[in-house]
Amino acid sequence: MFPIAEVVFNLPLERSFHYLIPAALENSIQRGMRVLAPFGKRERIGFVVSLVSKSPIQQLKLIRRVIDPIAVIADERWPLAVWLSEYYCCSLGEALAVMVPSALRFSSKPVLLPESAESLVLAPEPLSLNPHQKQAMEKIVYAMSKGRSQTILVHGVTASGKTELYLQAASYALSQKRSAIILIPEIALTAQTVDRFCKRFGERVMVWHSRMSIRARADSWRRMMENPCVVVGARSAVFAPVTRLGLVVIDEEHETAYKQQDLPRYHARDVAVARAREIGAVVLLGSATPSVESYYAAKKRSAGFVYLPQRIFERPMPEVEIVDMRLHLGQRRIGVLSPRLERLLQQVVDRGEQGMLLLNRRGFARVAQCKGCGAVTRCARCAVPLIFHADRQQMLCHYCNFQSSPKALCEQCKKGYVLLRGMGTERVESELHRLFPQAAIARMDRDTTLRKESHRELYEAVRTRQVGLLVGTQMIAKGLDFPEVTLVGVVSADTGLNLPDFRSGERTFDLLTQMAGRAGRGPSPGRVVIQTYCPHHYAIQAAAKHDYEKFYAEEIQMRRQLHLPPFSRLVEMTLASQSKSRVESAASRLAEELRGLFKRGVHLLGPVPHRIPRLRKVYRSCILLKSITLKPVAPVLKRVLGPNRTYHGVHVRIDVDPL
């Protein structure tokens, strides 16, 4: 008998706790279940990591109740949790918590499962592959047949048929009685991707993302554990409790959406590789614009690289032209759209075709500034300007959701008029309605996709041609496939180009290339117009030519010279406190102590103010560690910061491989 449960909690504590198991629960508690247990003055949900017969603690508290009727952590996911804890400098309890959604609750009612895989009616047969796809598929199947872990980068131009490779690889996994996980970067893509996989695999497809209901999550969780299946979902689906995992696909692997912003700050790509390594699964990283780190690694191991250089049905890549917006400076008439882009949009509307416009900024105006004294209206809690949203008639902070009413007169000098400057997707949409009143226009950004089914509704409206012109943020650049889109316009290619981030060039190239790839995916040729004030930047020039190699050559040279990833590993530490002096003092002392501990191999930069030095009334300071390997870093940080990850009373956030 094991009357004692060893439990860990979702807390920054590097230890476990013992609890007595009530007699009524002795036969129902297993390792991997969640339990409710007293902790301090309250009760917390914890994970049972083991059952033991005795404890050094004399007086143990009783477990209150069992949360789950089944173990939510089982099999190969235990080593994955340990890896998460060690790699991302978090506790085992925090690692386990990120693998199981807190909202997961099982119903007492039985879940109806399909009788058998053979009873399912599968839809369309696999499409015939072109020679490049066949060569890629042969390499993928060979890797999967070996039953050994391998990572393969599928580098294919937009519309080159990567999704068909994913479908056929998932089919092969099912034929081996193994499961597949298909990760997509945005919930906006779920509807399209699920439709494609359901047409091929029927009820064996499971959906997993944060907007599912509690009941739907629990039902999917049970079904994943029962039979081999294909899971389609966003970032957290990498932890899906599937039986006998054989394949993980990370579509658009370069996307920053795969990086978790809450603790532990994992990257789904790295988690997938770690999980596959434990069980001998194959990981496919697919992208037309692979991350520099992934491409560098793939080139070093040629066996893990396949290339699709042409579009399916030999369709041409869209023609791209760059509009130098500097030539229009000083022209009174010029607004959101250049005359060239406006003319081409008119032609699209006249011909009854579809067009897409990208501006990676929400709202109507980016800055409210006094004409007299120049003061900018800023958030009362964050060191950022407020954004004007015309549909709400509110000034909003995009970081803390602070709201205020727009003012006509400056609140600082009390006499200057406030002008709205800059533009966001709302203003572009408004301009389109003014220029093309007869066109059906829609906007896709975070503001228009808050409702549960809004993504699917917008997707269906564009797919069925109820919408002729679609304007949106980067979510419209990620994998959407609309064959009738013949024109793509990038309203401003410079929004992320000059940010203080060494990846700004890479992100600009990715976004422009991916957005250009939305054009000409059907029988009609596509055209792309890129508006920019930096027409000669290498990222913009390479994107206009669909030339990843040209971009990579420039980027990797800069990374090598500055010893940046992939030639080093980074760890960012952010210290936060409501006292500015306190956070600055703690950051200086921590940097000094770490410099003494990391005498060789680890380079320390900082401390410096954070990119957003004040957020939600909290001041922030940063220290950056740069090292060839992370092995010597994590143990030192855990030791110096202690169990609560604080330094002299100031909270320290650790971000391994920051993006």
Say which CATH number the domain at 619 has. Answer: 3.30.70.600
Sheet holding 469-472, edge to edge: 319-324, 527-532, 485-490, 354-358, 469-472, 441-444
What is the span of the domain harbouring residue 502? 315-364+423-558
pTM reported for the whole predicted model: 0.91
| Neighbour tally for 413: CB within 10 Å | 13
The reply to whether 17 and 57 lie within a common domain is yes
User: Percent of the chain, pLDDT > 70?
Assistant: 96
181-207 per-position pLDDT tens digit:
999 987 766 778 888 999 999 999 999
Nearest residue to 60 via CA among 2, 1, 13, 3: 3
Answer yes or no: is pLDDT of 83 > 80: yes
Instruction: Select from 497, 513, 519, 515 the least CA-distant residue to 546.
Output: 513
One domain, residues 18 and 80? yes
Task: Using pLDDT thresholds of 50, 70 and 90, give the confidence band for residue 110.
Answer: very low
Which of 214, 286, 278, 220 has its CA nearest to residue 250? 286
| Residue 104 forms part of a structural domain | no
Last residue of a domain, one of 507, 532, 558: 558
Residue holding tokens 């099912």? 174
* Rounded-to-integer distance, Cα 395 and Cα 330, Å: 28
In this structure, what CATH number is given to the domain that contains residue 11? 3.40.1440.60
End-to-end C-alpha distance for the chain, whole angstroms:
48
Weakest-pLDDT range from 12-21, 110-119, 325-334: 110-119
Indicate whether 176 belongs to any domain.
yes
- Whether residue 28 is found in the same domain as residue 175: no
pLDDT score at 76: 81
Q: Are 355 and 442 contained in the same domain?
A: yes
Residue whose C-alpha is closest to residue 518's, from 465, 474, 481? 481
Q: What is the CATH number of the domain that holds 280?
A: 3.40.50.300
Q: Does residue 397 sit within a domain?
A: no
Could you tell me if 196 and 298 lie in one domain?
Answer: yes
Examine the domain organization and report whether 491 and 604 are in the same domain. Answer: no
Q: Tell me: do 356 and 495 sit in the same domain.
A: yes
CA atoms within 13 A on the CB side of 293: 18
Instruction: Return the pLDDT at 578.
Output: 96
- Based on the fold, state whether residues 259 and 324 are members of the same structural domain: no
pLDDT tens profile 490-538: 999 998 888 889 999 999 999 999 999 999 999 999 999 999 999 999 9
Pick 113 or 431 by higher pLDDT: 431
Decide if 30 contacts 71 (C-beta within 8 A): yes
Q: At residue 121, does pLDDT exceed 70?
A: no
Q: Which of 112-116, 239-243, 479-483, 602-606 has the lowest mean pLDDT?
A: 112-116
642 within domain boundaries: yes
pLDDT tens by residue, 549-578? 999 999 999 999 999 999 999 999 999 999
Q: How many domains does the chain have?
A: 4
* Amino acid (one-letter) located at 54: K
Residue 36 in this model has a pLDDT that exceeds 80 = yes
Tell me whether residue 644 is in a domain: yes
- Segments of 446-492 assigned E as strands: 469-472, 485-490
What pLDDT is attached to residue 217? 87
Angstrom distance (rounded) from CA 480 to CA 472: 12
Residue-averaged pLDDT of the chain: 91
Which range is most confident: 52-56, 71-75, 319-323? 319-323
Say if 411 falls within a structural domain: no
Question: Tens digit of pLDDT for each residue in 420-442?
Answer: 999 999 999 999 999 999 999 99
* Residue 462 pLDDT: 92
Looking at per-residue pLDDT, the higher value among 115 and 280 belongs to 280
Residue 113 has pLDDT above 50, yes or no: no
If asked whether residues 299 and 264 sit together in one domain, one would say: yes
Residue 389 lies in a domain: no
Q: State the DSSP H helix or E strand holding residue 606, giving kind and residue range, or none if neither.
A: strand 602-615
**Is 379 part of a structural domain of the chain?**
no
* pLDDT number for residue 348: 96
The number of C-alpha atoms within 13 Å of 7 and in the hemisphere containing its C-beta is 30
Six-digit token string for 364:
């109507």
For 131-182, the pLDDT digits (tens) are 999 999 999 999 999 989 999 999 999 999 999 999 999 999 999 999 999 9
66 touches 106 (CB < 8 A): no
Report pLDDT for 332.
64
pLDDT tens-digit series, residues 586-596: 999 999 999 99
pLDDT surpasses 70 at 1: no
Residue 249 has pLDDT above 60, yes or no: yes
Q: In degrees rounded to 5, what are phi and psi of residue 319?
A: -75, 130
Burial class (CB in 10 A: 0-12, 13-18, 19+), 124: exposed
Q: Position of tokens 């954004």?
A: 387
Same domain, 471 and 573: no
Kindly report, residue by residue over 584-629, the tens digit of the pLDDT: 999 999 999 999 998 788 999 999 999 999 999 999 999 999 999 8
Q: Using the 3D structure, point to which of 558, 591, 616 is the last residue of a domain.
A: 558
Whether 309 and 319 share a structural domain:
no
Same domain, 299 and 323: no
Cβ atoms of 536 and 322 closer than 8 Å: no
Residue ending a domain, choose from 505, 532, 558: 558
